[in-house]
């Protein structure tokens, strides 16, 4: 199989915060890879904009270093890199002042290109940037703006950000990134659900006992402690990435694969979520080991009550899911980096093999990362004489084996998403009302913790999280899937 690369129309992409961490680690390497794949037109331009006093040559050096550092071995790509850098430019600019705006406007004038502005800056600068783009005549009707998470830290701040952007831009111009939606396997969730007839008849509370969504990380907060300690797992992962996975798992089939059809269905799921009972949510914080610092040491805050782990039981109050709980968990410094969605089906209504045959359940697991694939647990007869003994075995398909070399060429989430911005496809971006609805659901949970002033439960590095998280599901007579690499 050969993957088809369809070039996108010529574009000018301005990266505000062009010398920042995200530009270095993700945006510039992603653009370079799309360039190598032949997707960027020869006259497309990438313009870094930041306060630093630098010329275009200096920024090209910065981009070269970033790509070399974050794109692995690029020795084969040297020629490509030189050509890519010719399309890279820079402007010294003050996002909240006047410096640099006329120069930027001059660079953008004349070209009949799709214009995109990447706000790779803190949310406090969204307003000033939007206003200046408008004042300098750059907020043309066809232009797009791209904003990153965190989109607010609660419903009130998210509403403010939406209002600030809406002053000068239409919702169809705003691309709110949740990079999980750009992951190939996350998109595959929709393909698995809606391109196969096999699953849909069973995908409801009549057949599904419960769902488990796990996004486990083995790393700690590392150098991001300053940001993370003000957020915690609930704001950093649950409100966005896990919520998106929940939506794609639980939503009704959209009529079409287009931005509003898909996002309307996701929104309905979020709005149908019941409030979470305080007893149905557990938070944790990792302890130090002999060799690794604990959460508190890493964020250099001995009294912090921020959680690095959260697990909860969500209930969706609609016809499809009434009675089927969704157990969600995410955390850092867990046993392995492993993300999956497990659909645990109900027991067979009657066992013809008697009580001795034990309890056997079909479990469909969609592995998101690493080792992306699908596994279906089926029950068969254990070979050999001595009666009917049953055993559960996996029907296992790893995408890389099934698809061959093509699957090794899977674009990073940012590659896919940035190209979608240029193409004008918002399907994999969050709409303003979706983000607000997600905060409306998580806010009371966080407020409850703040009001109670309780500490998160400590858990050991390399474990599956705090004991209370195990109890959360055990008391319902269920168990978490093992977190394994």
Q: List interacting residues with ligand BG6 (CB under 6 A).
A: 217, 236
Beta carbon of residue 71, minimum distance to ligand BG6 (angstroms, whole number): 16
Spatial contact of 127 and 164, defined as CB atoms under 8 Å apart: yes
Cβ 217 to ligand BG6, closest distance in Å? 6
Q: How far is the CB of 331 from ligand BG6 (least distance, A)?
A: 10
Q: Is 241 a catalytic residue?
A: yes
Alpha-carbon distance values, 203 to 249, 343, 451 (Å): 9, 9, 38
Are 344 and 361 in contact by the 8 Å Cβ rule? The answer is yes
Note whether 285 and 355 are within 8 A (CB). Answer: no
CA quadruple 157, 161, 167, 173: dihedral, nearest 10: -150
Q: Cα separation of 473 and 311, whole Å?
A: 10
Q: Which is nearer to ligand BG6, 87 or 240 (CB)?
A: 240
Q: At what angle do helices 78-86 and 56-70 cross, to 10 degrees?
A: 140
Alpha carbon distance 130, 8 (integer Å):
25
Smaller CB separation from ligand BG6, 229 or 236:
236
Q: Which residue's CB is nearer to ligand BG6, number 338 or number 419?
A: 338
Tell me 405's DSSP state: G
Packing angle between helix 155-166 and helix 126-135, nearest 10 degrees?
10
CB of 236 to ligand BG6, least distance (A): 5
Sorted by sequence, the CB contacts under 8 Å of residue 297 that are 6+ apart come out as 288
Sign of the four-CA dihedral 368, 370, 376, 377:
negative
Cα-based distances in Å from 329 to 37, 192, 234, 299, 441: 36, 22, 10, 22, 16
Q: Which is nearer to ligand BG6, 115 or 149 (CB)?
A: 149
The minimum distance between CB 481 and ligand BG6, in angstroms, equals 18
Report the C-alpha gap between 48 and 16 in whole angstroms. Answer: 6
Tokens of 417: 């998403």
User: For residue 456, what are its two tokens?
Assistant: 């998160």
Which candidate in 136, 210, 241, 360 is catalytic? Answer: 241
CB of 465 to ligand BG6, least distance (A): 16
**Catalytic site residues?**
241
């Amino acid at each position: 199989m050969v993957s088809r690369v369809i070039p996108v129309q010529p574009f000018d992409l301005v990266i505000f915060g062009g010398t920042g961490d995200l530009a270095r680690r993700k945006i510039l390497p992603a653009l370079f890879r799309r360039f190598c794949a032949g997707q960027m037109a020869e006259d497309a331009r990438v313009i870094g904009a930041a306060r630093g006093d630098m010329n275009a040559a200096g920024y090209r050096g910065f981009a070269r270093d970033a790509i070399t550092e974050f794109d692995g071995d690029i020795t084969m790509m040297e020629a490509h890199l030189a050509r890519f850098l010719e399309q890279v430019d820079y402007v010294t600019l003050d996002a909240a002042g006047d410096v640099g705006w006329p120069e930027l406007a001059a660079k953008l004038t004349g070209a009949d290109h799709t214009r995109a502005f990447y706000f790779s800056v803190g949310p406090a600068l969204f307003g000033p940037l939007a206003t200046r783009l408008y004042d300098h005549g750059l907020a043309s009707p066809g232009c797009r703006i791209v904003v990153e998470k965190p989109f607010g830290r609660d419903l009130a701040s998210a509403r403010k950000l939406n209002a600030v952007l809406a002053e000068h831009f239409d919702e169809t111009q705003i691309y709110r990134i949740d990079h999980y939606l750009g992951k190939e396997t996350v998109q595959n969730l929709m393909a698995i659900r809606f391109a196969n007839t096999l699953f849909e008849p069973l995908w409801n509370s009549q057949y599904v006992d419960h769902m488990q969504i796990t996004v486990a990380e083995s790393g700690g907060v590392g150098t991001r402690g300053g940001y993370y300690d003000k957020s915690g797992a609930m704001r950093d992962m649950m409100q966005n990435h896990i919520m998106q996975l929940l939506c794609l798992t639980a939503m009704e089939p959209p009529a079409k694969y287009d931005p509003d059809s898909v996002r309307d269905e996701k929104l309905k799921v979020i709005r149908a979520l019941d409030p979470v009972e305080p007893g149905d949510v557990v938070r944790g914080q990792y302890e130090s080991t002999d060799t690794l610092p604990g959460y508190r040491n890493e964020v250099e805050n001995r009294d912090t009550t921020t959680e690095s782990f959260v697990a909860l039981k969500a209930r969706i109050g609609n016809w499809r899911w009434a009675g089927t709980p969704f157990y969600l968990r995410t955390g850092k410094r867990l046993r392995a980096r492993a993300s999956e969605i497990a659909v645990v089906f109900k027991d067979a209504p009657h066992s013809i093999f008697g009580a001795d045959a034990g309890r056997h359940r079909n479990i469909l697991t969609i592995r998101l990362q690493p080792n992306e694939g699908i596994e279906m647990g089926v029950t068969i007869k254990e070979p050999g004489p001595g009666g009917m003994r049953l055993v559960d075995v996996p029907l296992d398909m790893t995408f890389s084996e099934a698809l061959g070399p093509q699957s090794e060429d899977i674009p990073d989430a940012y590659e896919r998403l940035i190209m979608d911005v240029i193409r004008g496809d918002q399907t994999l971006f969050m709409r303003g009302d979706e983000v607000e609805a997600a905060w409306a659901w998580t806010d009371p949970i966080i407020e409850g913790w703040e009001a109670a002033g309780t500490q998160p439960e400590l858990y050991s590095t390399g474990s599956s999280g705090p004991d209370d998280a195990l109890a959360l599901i055990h008391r319902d007579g269920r168990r978490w899937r093992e977190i394994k690499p």
